[in-house]
Chains A and B, each alone.
Chain A
Amino acid sequence: MSEKKTAQDVLSQLSPEGVKLARRVIELERENLHIRSSTTVVNEIVTAVKGLIK
């Protein structure tokens, strides 16, 4: 019987850019969690993506 897939297994399948973006996204979310509607997070995610894929 195969072992149950874990959240970590799923996350580890991300591409290297995917890992970098995922980390940045979580970091941004954590920083801005206290702001109900944050436009900063979307802007920052877009900037991070553009930084990763030029």
Chain B
Amino acid sequence: MKLLRLTLDNFRAFYGRQTLDLAVDDSKPAVLIFGNNGAGKTTLLNAFAWALYGKFSADVEQQHRVIHDHKWAETPHGTPVSASVELKFEHAGVIFTALREVATVKNTDEQIAVAAKLTLNEIRNGESKPVANGQDRIEKILPEGLRRFFFFNGERMEKMFAGEENNDEVKRAIKTLMDLEPMERAITEHLPAAARRLAKEIDKGGDSRLQQLRDQQEGLEQQRDDAARRAQKVSRDISSYESEVREMERALRSHSESKPLQNARKKLEWKINEMGGQLQDRYARKREILSKGAFLAFTSHIDETVIGLAEAMRERRQLPAGIQRDFIEGLLEEGICMCGTPVPEGSAAYHELDKRRYNAGLADVESRWMYVSGQMKHLSEARQKLLDDLRQATFEIQNCQNEIKSLEEEKSEIDRQLQGVNIEDVQRLEQRRKEYDEKRIDGLAEHRRLEERRIEFEAQIDKMKRLFRSAQAADEASRKVQRQVNLVNEVLDTFREALELKTEEVREQLDVKLKEVFSRIFIKSYEPELTDSFELLLKSPAGIAIRSTGENQVLGLSFVGAVSEIAKQIHQRKAKDSEDIIGEGGIYPVVMDAPFGSLDFTYQEEISQALPKLTSQIVTLLSNSQASGKVMDNLQGAATRMYVLRTVTPNTGAAQETIEINNRAVAYVTHGDFEHTVLEEVAF
């Protein structure tokens, strides 16, 4: 696969039509694209993958906004609007154009998600024609599962080999890139089907021995396929049981690790609850104190003044003592004095008695005052007590609140530590773990049995084939069919053995190349290894290395480089000697954003030197800071073309910038009417 041209139409940050010419010289395989942060480097990287697969990488935000914002905004409601990316590439001598497009009629102010449509055309002998199942064709040229090896962000390279399906992916990548898939498909599908079809042509009235052998073989093949299918299903089940067991073990581990924390949290929750109760009690106590004695707070000084006044009046004998008031009232009512003198109302005697009644009232007052003054002497003490009680209650409330706050802080810390921990019941977890583990063990046993049966069937099928091959056919027509079936079986058996050997040969070649590329870049004495089961390891003198982000990046680059280089070598060898039946290999481009990820300068320099040698075509997206000094010299020396992503911004407060390329200042950030990015080729 060779990338030829990328055309963007109102795609994301790119307004209008922008074209990126990707054709490179063999000796200068690089296309360098410079852009500052936010200029659209990630968008451009995604444009390649979007054109091919219709999907953005997960780190792209607002994925529904495919059409440039300004284009969308300036389009009147009810009017059609679209955005597209067209990738022109060449593969196995055929030129393809993959056009991915979103087209809609604007009915809302905000963009809504629109399904992107693919149109794939192939150009053979100067004639262009559409490919009906374009996505399938692309999938066969560069499967989507492999996009992470060819269109990637250097900063996220460590994720390239993450995941449990890693080995299968690596194996698949190798088979696709080394062009071993056609042989695999012939073995598994088409040659056995062709042999069956041919064998069926033995006439019903023809050779009964051959017919019998053919039927027996077909029966055995049926049973073998059933066993293989069942084994596949069991294998999938085993994987899922294994992952369940791992999940349970993880939960159990985290449970046992977190048990002291969980206990501490429970204890704290109990204490907080307890303190909450105490706090309520203390509030209630304070309320009681206030309801019973709050009035005392308002008696300060008044009581002392009143007592003082009363005492003074008493000392001045202004508070009279004497007869009871109700006795005088009785005399006045009867109209006769206690001495027998009549006292009619209005008389002088009546008047005199009435005056006495007033004085008798004052005596009541006096006795009350006597009582109150006695009580009032305690008021000051009571007020002091009220104050003390309130102080104590407030103090206790404050203490309680402080205690609760401190407990809650403690609990919050434990909550943080327990975040994400599965706190299912241990017994239940253990039970489930056991169940899945038993299922896994049963599955493994069944899988082994099925594999044994499959191998047994295979041996019997081989025996049938041998018998079929050597059987003396009764008539000429049957003999012809016999020879035809034998020929198919000869190719089938040879392919089977050759594919097994070829896969191993490629793995070995790749392992050697991987070691070579890695040691070119990496300074430590670590060594990568592609194991028999296609697992990618990094070994240190102490054993399997614990890979850092940087080491993973170098390992990822080395793997991509090694695969591309081997595929290229096979392709070149095949071109020279077309006698080889299998493994055409091929050439594959690498498109990478931030190629140096988080690597330090030494590695940047090594990689900038190694990168162009790894593949036939490498499109590199860089920021200003990633391309300077020796790194820039290395990259520029390997480049056929260079582009700048010029940021246009209406923000006149932002400084206009230039980037220095070949001792020449090239516009990098400029002012304009609206935000967009312009792709400009730099002559050098």
Cα(A31)–Cα(B181), bound, Å: 12
Interface string of A20-54 (1 = CB under 8 A from B): 01110110111001111010011001100110111
Cα(A7)–Cα(B189), bound, Å: 20
- A15 interface residue, CB < 8 Å from B? yes
Cα(A28)–Cα(B194), bound, Å: 13
Tell whether A7 pairs with B140 under 8 Å between CB atoms, given A42-B190, A49-B487: no
A26 to chain B, nearest CB (A): 5
Cα(A46)–Cα(B666), bound, Å: 63
A4 to chain B, nearest CB (A): 9
A26–B190 contact, CB under 8 A? no
Contacts of B495 in A (CB 8 A): 22, 25
A38–B190 contact, CB under 8 A? yes
Contacts of A6 in B (CB 8 A): 501, 505
A33–B491 contact, CB under 8 A? no
Contacts of A33 in B (CB 8 A): 140, 181-182, 185
A29–B182 contact, CB under 8 A? yes
Tell whether A14 pairs with B494 under 8 Å between CB atoms, given A30-B182, A38-B190: yes
Contacts of B490 in A (CB 8 A): 14-15, 18
Bin chain B's interface residue count.
35 or more
Instruction: Give residues 173-191 of B contacting A (CB, 8 Å).
Output: 179, 181-183, 185-186, 189-191
B291 to chain A, nearest CB (A): 86
Cα(A17)–Cα(B487), bound, Å: 7
A35–B494 contact, CB under 8 A? no
Tell whether A18 pairs with B190 under 8 Å between CB atoms, given A7-B582, A10-B494: no
Give the A-B pair count, Cβ closer than 8 A.
Answer: 99
B140 to chain A, nearest CB (A): 4
Chain A minimum-CB-distance residue to B137: A34
- B193 interface residue, CB < 8 Å from A? yes
A11–B182 contact, CB under 8 A? no
A21–B488 contact, CB under 8 A? yes
B581–A19 contact, CB under 8 A? yes
Tell whether A8 pairs with B484 under 8 Å between CB atoms, given A13-B494, A25-B491, A34-B136: no
- B600 interface residue, CB < 8 Å from A? no
- B236 interface residue, CB < 8 Å from A? no
- B483 interface residue, CB < 8 Å from A? yes
Tell whether A49 pairs with B488 under 8 Å between CB atoms, given A7-B498, A10-B494, A11-B494: yes
- B139 interface residue, CB < 8 Å from A? yes
Cα(A35)–Cα(B92), bound, Å: 17
Cα(A48)–Cα(B185), bound, Å: 17
Instruction: Give residues 467-496 of B contacting A (CB, 8 Å).
Output: 480, 483-484, 487-488, 490-491, 494-495
Cα(A30)–Cα(B193), bound, Å: 17
A45–B488 contact, CB under 8 A? yes
Q: Which secondary structure dominates chain A's binding surface?
A: helix
B208 to chain A, nearest CB (A): 22
B198–A46 contact, CB under 8 A? yes
Cα(A17)–Cα(B495), bound, Å: 14
Cα(A46)–Cα(B101), bound, Å: 41
Contacts of B498 in A (CB 8 A): 7-8, 10-11
Bin chain A's interface residue count.
20 to 34
- B197 interface residue, CB < 8 Å from A? yes
Which of B181, B183, B197 is in CB contact (< 8 Å) with A42?
B197
B136–A11 contact, CB under 8 A? no
Cα(A25)–Cα(B99), bound, Å: 32
A8 to chain B, nearest CB (A): 7
Tell whether A36 pairs with B491 under 8 Å between CB atoms, given A6-B501, A26-B183, A53-B480: no
Which of B133, B190, B198 is in CB contact (< 8 Å) with A29?
B190
Cα(A34)–Cα(B7), bound, Å: 25
Which of B484, B505, B581, B584 is in CB contact (< 8 Å) with A23?
B581
Contacts of B494 in A (CB 8 A): 10-11, 13-14, 18, 22
A36–B136 contact, CB under 8 A? yes
Contacts of A34 in B (CB 8 A): 133, 136-137, 139-140
Contacts of B198 in A (CB 8 A): 46, 49
Contacts of A13 in B (CB 8 A): 494
- B352 interface residue, CB < 8 Å from A? no
Cα(A25)–Cα(B191), bound, Å: 8
Which of B137, B185, B484, B501 is in CB contact (< 8 Å) with A50?
B484
Instruction: Give residues 389-443 of B contacting A (CB, 8 Å).
Output: none
Contacts of A7 in B (CB 8 A): 497-499, 501-502, 505, 582
Contacts of A14 in B (CB 8 A): 490-491, 494
A5–B182 contact, CB under 8 A? no
Chain B minimum-CB-distance residue to A29: B182
- B580 interface residue, CB < 8 Å from A? yes
B644 to chain A, nearest CB (A): 37
Contacts of B190 in A (CB 8 A): 25, 28-29, 38, 41-42, 45
Cα(A17)–Cα(B489), bound, Å: 12
Contacts of A11 in B (CB 8 A): 494, 498, 581-582
Cα(A53)–Cα(B488), bound, Å: 11
Tell whether A46 pairs with B487 under 8 Å between CB atoms, given A7-B582, A13-B494: no
Cα(A36)–Cα(B189), bound, Å: 11
Instruction: Give residues 144-196 of B contacting A (CB, 8 Å).
Output: 179, 181-183, 185-186, 189-191, 193-194
B interface vs A, CB < 8 Å?
92, 133, 136-137, 139-140, 179, 181-183, 185-186, 189-191, 193-194, 197-198, 480, 483-484, 487-488, 490-491, 494-495, 497-499, 501-502, 505, 580-582, 584
Can you list 29 A-B contacts with CB-CB less than 8 angstroms, sorted by A residue number? A5-B501, A7-B498, A7-B582, A8-B498, A8-B580, A10-B497, A14-B490, A15-B487, A15-B490, A17-B487, A21-B487, A21-B488, A22-B491, A22-B494, A23-B581, A25-B190, A25-B491, A26-B182, A26-B186, A26-B581, A26-B582, A29-B181, A29-B182, A33-B185, A38-B190, A45-B194, A46-B197, A49-B198, A49-B488
Using A7-B582, A10-B497, A46-B194 as known contacts, list a sample of 18 further A-B pairs with CB atoms less than 8 Å apart, ordered by residue number in A.
Answer: A6-B505, A7-B501, A10-B494, A10-B501, A11-B494, A14-B491, A21-B491, A25-B190, A29-B182, A29-B190, A33-B181, A34-B133, A46-B197, A49-B484, A50-B484, A52-B487, A53-B483, A54-B480
The 5 closest A-B pairs by CB, nearest first: A29-B182, A7-B502, A45-B194, A34-B137, A7-B501
